[in-house]
Structure formats: C-alpha cells, structure tokens
Amino acid sequence: MDEADRISDIWGARTPHARDESWPVRVDMHLDGDVGEADVDRWVQSACVLCSNGCACDIAVKDGRMVGVRGRAQDTVNHGRLGPKGLYGSWQWSRSDRLTRPLVRENGELVKSDWDTAMGRIVERSRALLDDVGPLSHGFYTSGQLFLEEYYTLAVIGKAGIGTPHMDGNTRLCTATAAAAMKESFGSDGQPGSYTDIESCDAIFLFGHNMAETQTVLWARVLDRVHGADPPRVVAVDPRTTPVAEAAVATGGVHLAPMPGTNMALMNALVREVIHRGWADRDYVYAHTLGFDELAATVEPYTPEVAAKICRVPASDVRRAAEIFGTSPRVLSTVLQGFYQSHQATAAACQVNNLHLLRGMIGRPGCGILQMNGQPTAQNTRECGADGDLPGFRNWDDAEHIDQLARLWNVDPLTIPHWAPPTHAMQLWRYAEQGSIRLLWISATNPAVSMPELARIRAILAREDLFVVVQDGFLTETAQYADVVLPAAMWGEKQGTFTNVNRTVHLSDRAVDPPGEARSDLDIFLDYARRMDLRDRDGAPLIAWTDPEGAFAAWRECTRGRLCDYTGLSYEKLRGGSGIPWPCNDEHPEGTDRLYADGVFPTDPGVCESYGHDLLTGGSLDERTYRALDVRGRALLKGSPYTAAPEAPDDEYPFAVISGRTAYQFHTRTKTGRSRQLRRAAPEPWVELSVADAARLGVAEGDVLCVESPRGSVQAPARIGRGRDGVVFVPFHYGYWDTPAGRAPGDDPHAANELTLTEWDPVSKQPLFKVAAARVVRVADGTGPAAAPTTTASAPARPGAVAGTVGGPGAATQERVGESAPPPAPPTPEHTPGVPRHEATDRS
Amino acid sequence: MHLATYLGLLHHAEHTLAEAFRRVGDGHAAEPDVFHLCEVLARQCDRHTDALVPVVERHDERRETEPERLLTAGLGETRSGGVGLLRDLQDLYTLASFVDITWTVVGQAGQGLADRELLDVVGTCERETAVQLRWLRTRIKQAAPQALIAAR
Ligand code: SF4
C-alpha cells in the first residue's frame, strides 16, 4: 500500500500498460483524520457526483456520519481510482452549514418555517397562476446533479401534470451541445464510444477538453497509455497550455491553440484535409452516411492557410493534426466546453462526428467518440426529459412519440406541450425577465453564479412579480433570492441511480440520514404532486410511485425499446458489481459498451429524437422534409461555414476572456468549497494572462487586476501563466456565498460570469461562455503570488516562481495497485438495441 | 425581355429584406438570438445582392420599360414586446417568402435561357433563402404561445 498526497499528485501513481491490455486496478481510499479502514462501521455503495466521469466508490460510514470514500475495484469506469474531488470533496460538506428547515420570505427576510407552510405557499401560488394564466406561467429549472428518479418524476409533473414547456436545467450550460451534436449526426442522443476505447486507440484528440482537470480519473487512464508501450499520439485543441497540451507535445502530437470563437474554421480545415488527402473511407461514407457532397462543398474554402489565419495558429500544425487523424488506424475523440461553450458549438462538435464518420471510425475498439458531459448526472436530465428534451429520447415533433408518452402516463396527448421544442434555459430566463413566467422553481443548481451575465440574472431573481422556489442543501447565492427555500437531502443521504458519460448506470445508496428536516428531492417533488392533486385522465394520481425504486421501475417502462433502454436493469442488479452501460435489456443483460458497431444509426423517422436543424440558424426541419431525405439508418454529415463570433476583441476591449474550471473545484463550490484540502488548493479566483501580455501591461505575478467587459467586471490577483497571447482566463467556480456580501458582488466582484454575455448557440442553445471581449487594468500591487494551483493549467509560466500546491498531512490517500484483476469490459452487440435494422446501402 | 426587370426586382427585394432583418434585429436587441441571427442573415442577403450584380448587368441592355408597382415595400418601425416580436418576425416571413418565390421565377427564366451562371446563383441563394424561412418559422412557432397566452 502506498500513500500519496492527491492534491499535489492529482492523477496518482502510474500503472502503465501497452495497447489492447486492460487498465490495471488501483484502489484509492481517503478517510478522515485518524479513522482507519478497520474503524469504518459500514461501506455503502455509490459513485462520485463531482464530475461526469461517475467513478464508483463506497462511502465509509462511522457513527452515523460519512467519513471518507474508497474506489470500487470491480467497476468498469474507474477500476478503483478516485480523483482529488472525489477523495476530499464528496463527503466533507455533509457536516457543515446545511439547510435543515424550510425557509419562507417574511417582510423581505428569509425566516425559518416548516414544510406545511412552505409547501402551502408554493401550492397556493401555483394554483392561482394556473387558474389565472395557465401552465405557461410556470418554469422549472433543474440541475445536472440530481438522480434519475428525481428527474423523471419532475418531468412527469411538469409535462403531464402542470403541462408547461418551460423546463430545462443547468445541463443547458454544460452538455446541451453534446446531445445536440449527437442528434444532428446520429439521430439521437447516446454516446457512441466508451472509455475502453482509451485502451486500444492509436491517437486521441481532445477538442476543447482539458480532461486532466475536468475528469481527472479518465485522464489517469489516458496517462497509463501515454506512459506504457506503444502510446497513442495526443492532439489538444485548447488556447491554454493544459496538461493535455503538454502530453500532446510529449507524444509527438500537436497542440493547437486557436483564438476563442474560431473552432469552426479549424474543424472545417481538418475535415477538408481528410477529404482532400484521400483519407476518407469512401465505402463507409457511401454505405453509412448521407450528405457527403454538401459537406465537401461547405468545407472547400477552408484550406489550412485560411484556417490558420482565422484561428491564428500555424498552418503546418493544422496539416499535422489532420494527418494524425487521417493516418492513425484507431482514433478516439473527446469534446468538451472549449467547443460546447464557444461560438458555433453544435456545428463544431458535429465536425468531430464527421471526422469519425468520414474515416468509418465508430463502433470499433479504439475508434470512439466521447461527446462529454460536464455535470455528473447530466445524461439523466437529458434522458428523463427534465431539460429541453422529452423522456426516453422521444421527438417532440413526432405525434406517435407524444402518444406513447400520453399512454404511459394516461393523460390527454394535448396536455403534453409539444407545439415547439421544450423551452431552453436562456429563453426560460428571458420569459421570467419579461414577466410571463411568474413561478420559477430551481432545484439543485446555482444560476446566480453559473449563468452568463450575472447582473441580469440577479435582477431577474429579485423581481417582485417572480415567485422563486429554491431547493438545495445549502443557502446558496441563488437561495438567498428565493421566496421559499426547501432543504434537500444530498448524495449519501438518499437513494437513486445516475448515468455517466459512457452510459454507465450506477446505484447510489443511502449511507446516512439527512440533517434536520431535509428531504430528498424526490420526496419534495412527490409532495408537490400530491398537494397539487395531479391526476391522470381516469382520476387516479398521476404519479403512482412513492419511493426511488418505484420511480426507477416507472422509468424502465418509459425506456422500453428506446436506445436508452433500461429494462434489463434493476437496483438488485446494480448492487454489488460494476455499473452497467445502457442499452440493457433482456437480450443484452450485460449492457452495451459501444454503439453503432454495424454503422446503422437511429436516424429513421419514427425512431429519431429530432428531425434535425440547419446548423447555421437552428431552423428545424419538419417531418416531411426529413422523410424526403430517405435516411434509412444512415448518419448525417452536416456542415456549416465559419462565421465571426458575436463579440470579438476590439480597441476598447482588446482581450478575449474565457471562463473555465480547475481540478480542485466543482461548479459553484457548494460541495468542494467546504472541503479543507480542496479549499486550500484553490482558495480564490485568479486572472490568468500570458507572459507577453503581462509584460506589456506592466503586471507582475499577484498584482491585482480588474477585468472589464461591456457587462461587468472581476477583480482578482494575476497569474502569469502559459495561455496564448490575447486571451485571459478566469475560473468560474467562485461566487459570493463565502464572502461578506453573501449573494452579490458588493465591492469585490469576482465571479467570472459578471463578464460573460447573454448569447447562445443556435442549435443547442448553450450559452457562449468563452467568447467575451474584455480589457484588463492593473489596479494594485500584489501581496504575493496569486493562489492559483501550480499543478494544473494554471501553473506559472516561470517554474519555481510560486510555491507548489500541496495537500499536506491531511490529504494522505492510500493507493493499492493490482490487488485484483481488472473487471472485464461490457460486450458490444453487433447491432445496437433500439435501432431499426437496415441492410447496408448497395452501391449499384 | 422582362427578365431584366425581374432581376432588378429581386435585387431590390433582397436589399429590402437585408434592411428588414437589420431593423428587426436592432429593434429586438434584448432577444440575443434574434439580434445575432438577423445580422447573420442580413449579411447573407447582402451576398445575394452582390451575386446578382453581374447577372443584372449582363441582362440590363435588353431591359423593357418597367411595369408599375413591382417593388416590395420595406418594413416600418419595429414593434415592442412579445407580440410585437411575433408580428415583426411575421413581416420578415412575408418578405422572405416573396424573395423565395421571386428566385423561383427568375430560376425558371434561367432554365428557359439555359443561363448557367444565373442558375448557379439561383441554386445557392434559393437554398439559403429556404433556410431563412425555416429559421423564421421555427422562431415564430416557439414565440407564439407565450406571447399570445402568458405575456402581459
Ligand atoms: S474523476 Fe470525477 S467522478 Fe471521478 S472521483 Fe474525480 S470528480 Fe469524482
């Protein structure tokens, strides 16, 4: 057994291996203080909810409290490993300043109350608005952090009970583009690839994905290939010198650092190169895709030189990256916020799909696409329809799909709003701003820090005519604006399931009791449905279940025959062993590792989740137009020209400012900010700028800077880092709950979203967090270096200039390598369950 | 030959549509998607106008005297609020539909004359105009219920 400080050593000990060998097991464990493994009373099965990776773990319980975690060796996702957030951040918050009683607003103040009063107020307002205005007065804004059972229950309440189309989640800000890109290319949401592709790829492309910090355990998996025999080449697209970019250089790959907002020009050039240099697999393209000629025409103007000029990267690097993609036998691609939160998000993410389709690299070992998620349970928000989707990946524009749901819920199909796609978050907030949404119910998320243009969001939350309900474990910035605050049980205090990036479903059992009067989010939703007396068309209660397992059973029925088929799963089956990836049914009881092995996709009308959109405008195709395409199970190659971003640096605002993440914090820090080790590792925000920009502005490390955009400003110490010139980086985690001002900037504005703009991708509607223009002003001398981590992309440009980030004795973590054999990978069916069969298109 | 007249008409209509997109975008700048896409589509209309210039010039020598009341009227002041947005988008839809069918008319003449250059221009612009209509229809459908039922 080895001991490691997993603050300074984020990815832990290497267990290198060669291509096509399994990833060895390493069990990571961290326990509080002097608690030893033998002192633990109980280990309760769960998986980490501090990023989308979904590492399986057991929660250590002692004297009725959570005291640590241990990775599950038998799980296919993490083979026993955990990262810093999971180790130090997943349980410590449970013993701090939790909400223990409902709060209601009296004379402008939030005061302690009880469940009857709080729920009574919500129901009273809800009823009055339904009578007066109707369902369009209600908006539900949820999260990427609840459990599947909670989302599904919320979806049924909203869509079949209240009948409002205004239902979305924070997932809009983090993963909407992943879903949108898969719908456009493959007809449906559903991750084609698997983590097991890491073991067998020859090249790995990370598009706008700093995996080393966002999914640290997944990166450890990549590092074990990079350090083993026949390592894959890494290609990184990122304006910062991330650990991923360093790996790109070390493996003979390429680091491309395009100017923010120009991804589409780069992607068009890569697609063009693959076509021009003859690397496309013509047979695959012919048999399994539609739209090649139009795509080829669209990308034709984007020579490497044209892209190089727009993106400000060397044309030779563009060529080299295309060559690696075009000539490596097996390529794995991953995509995240650098694409999803930037300009032309869906169009750019679709080009990643196109690269794989052109080379026929899908559904085979090492040939995967991982359109990543940000938040841990984002996949479930999408599947269950608690965001702007319909449950079970159903198509809002397909009358038969609506009928299926109406039959399942036993309601009139007209109750289910389907005259247009469900309202996306940005529009939902706009309706609240205009006063037509008058009840906004926010669950388990913190828009007062996470949404763009915070001054605007605060003004909306503070509107007199908007009744705000917030359901959370803590008095977040957002909760402080609420009319009613409902105390929610959190991870480890309730039961449920959730699904990670590669479709793996995990069960999370209840380890301890929730504090005070806190209730699970599921119980809160059920209570609302009961008090509202929501009924089906025969007068029976609309929601027939009363506990998580009942909700799971109902959800299973909802997925029957769909791509996200859960019918082969149960709590019993998920307990004890590994998580299992859907689709999982009677025929495929062990689940599905990779989708689309035979190149047949769920694009048929009648099956597809969407008829698709024009990528430039987001205009949607109607059923007739789509049917006329005669897709027959083929994937769609869609393109778009590059267009200039809505905001670009100019004389007044000469910098591009991008927001992003650090390895030690999650989201708005409600959990990780309450962990001693994580808080120490990344205590406060910083402003990162390049060496040349710092020299030009006369800025030294630690000097206090003010970053100003047309919308607001942020003040923080300078980190002279390793990003590209002209780009400033600000971490987005830091709000105000732990400052004197509490919910708003006061005289210390430091939330990155003070700067960002209200603007979104036309297809996925994901906001553009990475294209704001700003100016940078030095306002004061520093008192020492910025407290930015040195172990990550925020490392100082001059090594050794700043004391290294360490965890110290309190961060001791045990790592046990190779105690058991790696779990076997799940099977890959020859034909994907839930997808209609088609014979390959014949060339004649 | 009246083709020259119709090319002039189309040129004018695309120009009018570009202006209308810009006007609606500016008038509804608080709807960021409308603001941004109207600008993108206005620029698309500008390109259509430019693409027409050589064809117009080529056919201009054979212009007949122009019949009356051919030109389309532009947009007046934009309206405000949810219903105002809806109505303005409908105006855009009407204008864009006019442009769309005019491309069809001109395209038919191009076929009759076997004018390859003209047919190429028609092909691209017609496709893009169809996308403009598609976006307008999508946005109108989305906006209608809230504007008509819940807005104050
Ligand atoms: S990689 Fe993600 S899921 Fe795994 S331990 Fe870290 S935060 Fe948790």
Inter-chain CB proximity A621 and B134 less than 8 Å: yes
Per-residue pLDDT at A177 exceeds 90:
yes
Inter-chain CB proximity B40 and A616 less than 8 Å: yes
Q: What is the pLDDT of residues A654-711, one digit of tens each?
A: 999 999 999 999 999 999 999 999 999 999 999 999 999 999 999 999 999 999 999 9
Distance A689 CA to ligand 1 centre (A): 28
Report the 3 state secondary structure along B52-78. HHHHHHHHHCCCCCCCCCCCCCCCCCC
pLDDT value for B62: 66
Which CATH number covers residue A313?
Answer: 3.40.228.10
Q: pLDDT band at A604, cuts 50/70/90?
A: very high
Greatest alpha-carbon pair distance for chain B in Å reads: 56
> Which residues in chain B are contacts of A614 at CB distance < 8 A?
131, 134-135
User: Which chain B residue has the Cα nearest residue A420?
Assistant: B142
In a domain, residue A41? The reply is: no
Same domain, residue pair A354 and A396: no
> Which residues in chain B are contacts of A646 at CB distance < 8 A?
32, 36
Please give the Cα distance from A213 to A791 (Å, whole number).
Answer: 10
> Which residues in chain A are contacts of B144 at CB distance < 8 A?
419
A301 near B CB under 8 A:
no
Distance A443 CA to ligand 1 centre (A): 22
Please give the Cα distance from A10 to A815 (Å, whole number).
Answer: 13
pLDDT value for A843: 44
Same domain, residue pair A328 and A384: no
Per-residue pLDDT at A787 exceeds 50:
yes
In a domain, residue A136? The reply is: yes
pLDDT value for A421: 85
A644 near B CB under 8 A:
no
Per-residue pLDDT at A794 exceeds 50:
yes
Inter-chain CB proximity B149 and A420 less than 8 Å: no
Over residues A248-270, mean pLDDT = 97
In a domain, residue A276? The reply is: yes
> Which residues in chain A are contacts of B36 at CB distance < 8 A?
646, 759
Please give the Cα distance from A792 to A246 (Å, whole number).
Answer: 11
Inter-chain CB proximity B149 and A136 less than 8 Å: yes
What percent of chain B shows pLDDT beyond 90?
Answer: 74
CA neighbor of A427 nearest in space, from A154, A759, A126: A759
Same domain, residue pair A286 and A388: no
Q: What is the pLDDT of residues B12-60, one digit of tens each?
A: 999 999 999 999 999 999 999 999 999 999 999 999 999 999 998 888 7
A434 near B CB under 8 A:
yes
Inter-chain CB proximity A620 and B134 less than 8 Å: yes
Same domain, residue pair A137 and A232: no
How far off is chain B from A128, nearest CA to CA, in Å? 14
In a domain, residue A689? The reply is: yes
Task: Please state, in angstroms and as integers, the Cα–Cα distance from residue A328 to each residue in A195, A200, A337, A639, A810, following that order.
Answer: 18, 12, 25, 24, 44
Which CATH number covers residue A405?
Answer: 3.40.50.740
Q: pLDDT band at B76, cuts 50/70/90?
A: confident
CA atoms within 13 A on the CB side of B106: 30
- For ligand 1, atom 6: residue with the closest CA: A83
Please give the Cα distance from A616 to A584 (Å, whole number).
Answer: 36
What ipTM was assigned to the predicted interfaces of this complex?
0.90
Over residues A614-633, mean pLDDT = 95
CA neighbor of B65 nearest in space, from B5, B139, B135: B5
Same domain, residue pair A448 and A490: yes
Same domain, residue pair A407 and A528: yes
- For ligand 1, atom 7: residue with the closest CA: A50
Ligand 1 atom closest to the Cα of residue A86 is 5
> Which residues in chain A are contacts of B82 at CB distance < 8 A?
434, 436
CA neighbor of A165 nearest in space, from A460, A427, A503: A427
Inter-chain CB proximity B150 and A431 less than 8 Å: yes
Task: Please state, in angstroms and as integers, the Cα–Cα distance from residue B141 to each residue in A313, A400, A432, A496, following that order.
Answer: 41, 20, 19, 37
pLDDT value for B79: 87
User: Which chain A residue has the Cα nearest residue B130?
Assistant: A619
On whether the CB atoms of residues A204 and A464 are closer than 8 A, the answer is no
Inter-chain CB proximity B146 and A431 less than 8 Å: yes
What is the β-pairing status of strands A65-71 and A727-731? unpaired
Distance B80 CA to ligand 1 centre (A): 48
Sheet holding A580-581, edge to edge: A496-499, A504-508, A580-581
User: Which chain A residue has the Cα nearest residue B41?
Assistant: A617
Q: What is the pLDDT of residues A77-132, one digit of tens each?
A: 999 999 999 999 999 998 789 999 999 999 999 999 999 999 999 999 999 999 99
CA atoms within 13 A on the CB side of A7: 24
Radius of gyration of chain B (CA): 17
pLDDT value for A842: 47
Same domain, residue pair A339 and A352: yes
Same domain, residue pair A159 and A282: no
How far off is chain A from B8, nearest CA to CA, in Å? 28
In a domain, residue A3? The reply is: no
Q: pLDDT band at B64, cuts 50/70/90?
A: low
Same domain, residue pair A129 and A213: no
Over residues A539-546, mean pLDDT = 97
> Which residues in chain A are contacts of B86 at CB distance < 8 A?
none
Per-residue pLDDT at A840 exceeds 70:
no
In a domain, residue A235? The reply is: yes
pLDDT value for A141: 97
Same domain, residue pair A503 and A404: yes
Same domain, residue pair A193 and A282: yes
Number of domains in chain A: 3
In a domain, residue A31? The reply is: no
Name which of B134, B144, B149 is nearest A614 (Cβ-Cβ): B134
- In degrees and rounded to multiples of 5, residue A697 shows phi and psi of -90, 0
Inter-chain CB proximity B146 and A759 less than 8 Å: no
Q: What is the pLDDT of residues A441-494, one digit of tens each?
A: 999 999 999 999 999 999 999 999 999 999 999 999 999 999 999 999 999 999
- Provide the residue range defining the domain that includes A263: 177-372
* Of A429 and A844, more confident: A429
Q: What is the pLDDT of residues A15-61, one digit of tens each?
A: 999 999 999 999 999 999 889 999 999 999 999 999 999 999 999 99
Q: pLDDT band at A723, cuts 50/70/90?
A: very high
pLDDT value for A747: 87
Instruction: Using the 3D structure, point to which of A735, A762, A780 is the last residue of a domain.
Output: A780
Please give the Cα distance from A842 to A617 (Å, whole number).
Answer: 34
Where does residue A824 rank: exposed (0-12), middle (13-18), buried (19+ CB within 10 A)?
Answer: exposed
Same domain, residue pair A314 and A451: no
- Residues lining ligand 1, Cβ inside 6 A: A 48, 50-51, 53-55, 82-83, 85-86, 215-217
- Give the mutation candidate from B34, B36, B43, B80 for the A interface (greatest A CB count, under 10 A): B36
Task: Name the average pLDDT for chain B.
Answer: 91
A165 near B CB under 8 A:
yes
Q: Where are the alpha helices (DSSP H) in A359-396?
A: 378-384
On whether the CB atoms of residues A702 and A684 are closer than 8 A, the answer is no
Q: pLDDT band at B69, cuts 50/70/90?
A: low
Sheet holding A369-371, edge to edge: A254-256, A233-237, A203-207, A331-335, A369-371
User: Looking at the domain that runs over B3-150, which CATH code has it been given?
Assistant: 1.20.1260.10
> Which residues in chain A are contacts of B150 at CB distance < 8 A?
133-134, 136-137, 431, 436-437
Q: pLDDT band at A835, cuts 50/70/90?
A: very high
Please give the Cα distance from A269 to A263 (Å, whole number).
Answer: 10
Cis peptide before A789 (omega within 30 of 0): no
Instruction: Using the 3D structure, point to which of A559, A581, A615 is the last residue of a domain.
Output: A559
Inter-chain CB proximity B32 and A616 less than 8 Å: no
Instruction: Using the 3D structure, point to which of A765, A780, A795 is the last residue of a domain.
Output: A780
Report the 3 state secondary structure along A210-252. CHHHHCHHHHHHHHHHHCCCCCCEEEEECCCCCHHHHHHHHCC
Residue length of chain A: 844
User: Which chain B residue has the Cα nearest residue A758?
Assistant: B32
What percent of chain A shows pLDDT beyond 90?
Answer: 96
Q: What is the pLDDT of residues A495-528, one digit of tens each?
A: 999 999 999 999 999 999 999 999 999 999 999 9
Q: Which of residues 115-144 of B touch A (CB under 8 A)?
A: 131-138, 141-142, 144
B20 near A CB under 8 A:
no
User: Which chain B residue has the Cα nearest residue A432?
Assistant: B151
Please give the Cα distance from A389 to A421 (Å, whole number).
Answer: 8
Over residues A139-164, mean pLDDT = 97
A677 near B CB under 8 A:
no
pLDDT value for A844: 38
In a domain, residue A318? The reply is: yes
CA A806 to chain centre: 28
A756 near B CB under 8 A:
no
